[in-house]
Amino acid sequence: MTAQGSRLPLVVVLALVAAAVTAAPALADGPPDNALPVLGSFVASPGSVGTDGGSVELSVSAADPDGSLTAVVATAYSSNSGETVAATLGGPPEGGTWTGGLYLPSNPSDSPVSWSVEVTAVDDHEGTTQELLGDISQAGVTPFDELPSVWGEDVSPRAVGPGGDSVSISAYASDDRSVSSVHATARDQIGSEYVVDLAGGGGSRYAGTWVAPGNGTTGPVVYDITVYAQDDIGQERIVNAGQVTVAGTDPPTDPPTDPPVDDPPEITSASVTPTTLPAHGGVVDVGVRATDDVDVSTVRVSVSGPDISTRAASLPGTGGEAAYGAQVQLPSNETGAARAYSFVVTVTDTNGATASVGLDDVVVAARVPKTSEGTPGVTGAVPLTLSKTSVRLISTRPGARVVRTVVVRNAGKHRVSGRLGGLAAPFRVSGAHRHFALDPGERLRVRVVFRATRPGRSVDRLVIVRNDGAQRILRVRLVGRARWAA
């Protein structure tokens, strides 16, 4: 058959028409003689967003073969909640690239979300084409790192004689990531403190030995034992491990009626080091050498300063011949002027004779404000910054848990410690931590949870306070609203 004379039978023509109608898209609609819109390439930028959501720019190629386009709409469907978000795109009616922005809401759950994007194109004959053209992924909330756990603390013995003795301290500690250090402190009633490192012995058990000093007084000395566990990001758990008592010496029962002639004690040397401390205070070492023709009974140091009444601390023997010493804690100086503390050592022998000597003053430096560049003497430093100063949390069903994150950053050049204030229901801070310490450039993510049990509006403030007082209190305004469908 030649091209000039070729003809198809009527049955074949009807079959081809039926096949063309059958091959049209399943989600297309319009007049039977209208060519439906055609959708082409699709781009979503970015292709993924974080847990807080954000804007995504959409671009799609669309055209109408026999006319013009009147509308192109993109709709995103959540794989988790079924929530939908829509955006109208703009572009040339005669066909080409249509673009527009789509805003995705935050994802309060720990699971990631996949948003399926469906594009609908409508032509001037009301012909419609719908196609699923792509997906946008969204991250879930990162699980919060809990504080370390401490349990099974053991201190033995709980009581020792007036000469002092070795005390074993142990505890179990664990963390959902890792434990970086464990130590214990022993602190008496006047503030003298001893630090004992607890070493890991395999598994979760940590142990160490503290040598309780002797007690030269007639009354007992009681030490509070505290265990500290720190994780790999500096979060700390503090546990009270009870007390250890060092007994006092027995008073003489039958003192001689005519005591022999006794010379007073002789103080051969006495010192306190260091004699200067930074504004946050610290520990000084007091050392004394003293002798007596019979025996030395007690050696004590009295401390006087502008912010405390005179207090005294015992100086136990340090193991050397006629040597006595202890550590004394001085408080921080929150004022703009240096503060001096005077030290007086008093030695008493067994017959009650005494000898005293004054030591060098110890000066605690004034608190000098710094700028964010670390320059002394200029106020207005803001080393701690916030990612936001107000947060809105909306609940759409009873008991729903809505979470928002506030980031605290150390923008200064020095380590900064502080604490978080408490919140009232229906707000709370996720996790048990309240205290923090940040190195320069380090960030703390604070997760604020809103969980309403009845509809209405709630307002509170999250307060962040620096321990050194060198910065105004930071506040984040929290507004929670519970709106539930009837």
Residue 5 lies in a domain: no
159 shares its domain with 134: no
306 shares its domain with 230: no
d(CA 114, CA 32): 36
196 shares its domain with 286: no
332 shares its domain with 309: yes
Extended strands (E) in 316-378: 323-330, 339-349, 354-358, 362-364
Task: Single out the residue in 138, 164, 188 at which a domain terminates.
Answer: 138
271 shares its domain with 335: yes
Residue 375 buriedness (CB in 10 A; 0-12 / 13-18 / 19+): exposed
Residue 374 lies in a domain: no
Segments forming the whole domain that contains residue 283: 266-364
Contact 88, 161 (CB under 8 A): no
Residue 347 lies in a domain: yes
Residue 252 lies in a domain: no
Q: What share of the chain is helix, strand, coil (3-state, %, to 5)?
A: 5, 55, 45
Task: Single out the residue in 197, 212, 246 at which a domain terminates.
Answer: 246
357 shares its domain with 391: no
| End-to-end CA gap in the chain | 76
Residue 259 pLDDT: 58
132 shares its domain with 154: no
126 shares its domain with 153: no
Residue 46 lies in a domain: yes
Strand order in the sheet with 390-395: 390-395, 474-482, 456-466, 416-420, 435-438
Residue pointed to by tokens 């805003």: 103
Residue 31 pLDDT: 65
Residue 80 pLDDT: 85
Q: Give me the amino acid identity at 305.
A: G
- Among residues 230, 256, 40, 262, the alpha carbon closest in space to that of 147 is found at 230
80 shares its domain with 133: yes
- DSSP-derived letter for residue 233 is T
| Neighbouring C-beta atoms of residue 245, cutoff 10 Å | 15
Contact 346, 355 (CB under 8 A): yes
d(CA 469, CA 369): 9
Count of domains forming the chain: 4
Residue 45 lies in a domain: yes
Residue 309 pLDDT: 65
Residue 439 lies in a domain: yes
Residue 440 lies in a domain: yes
The distance between the two most distant Cα atoms of the chain, rounded to a whole number of Å, is 154
Q: CATH no. for residue 53?
A: 2.60.40.10
The reply to whether omega before 426 is within 30° of 0 (cis) is: yes
Contact 474, 386 (CB under 8 A): yes
Rg (alpha carbons) of the chain, rounded to whole number: 38
d(CA 328, CA 77): 66
N residues, the chain? 486
134 shares its domain with 153: no
Q: State the DSSP H helix or E strand holding residue 21, giving kind and residue range, or none if neither.
A: helix 10-22
325 shares its domain with 433: no
Q: How many helices (H) and strands (E) does the chain have?
A: 1, 36
312 shares its domain with 352: yes
Strand 236-246 with 159-160, pairing: parallel
Please report, in tens digits, the pLDDT of each residue of the chain (486 residues total). 333 333 333 333 223 323 333 333 435 555 668 889 999 999 999 999 999 999 999 999 999 998 899 999 999 999 888 899 999 999 998 989 999 999 999 998 888 999 999 999 999 988 999 999 999 999 988 667 788 999 999 999 999 999 999 999 999 999 988 999 999 999 998 888 999 999 998 889 999 999 999 998 999 999 999 999 999 888 999 999 999 999 999 876 766 566 566 788 999 999 999 888 888 888 889 999 999 888 898 999 999 887 656 788 888 887 667 889 888 888 888 887 888 888 999 999 988 889 888 888 888 888 766 544 443 443 445 689 999 999 999 988 888 899 999 999 999 888 988 888 878 889 988 875 678 889 999 999 999 999 988 888 898 988 888 877 777 788 899 999 988 776
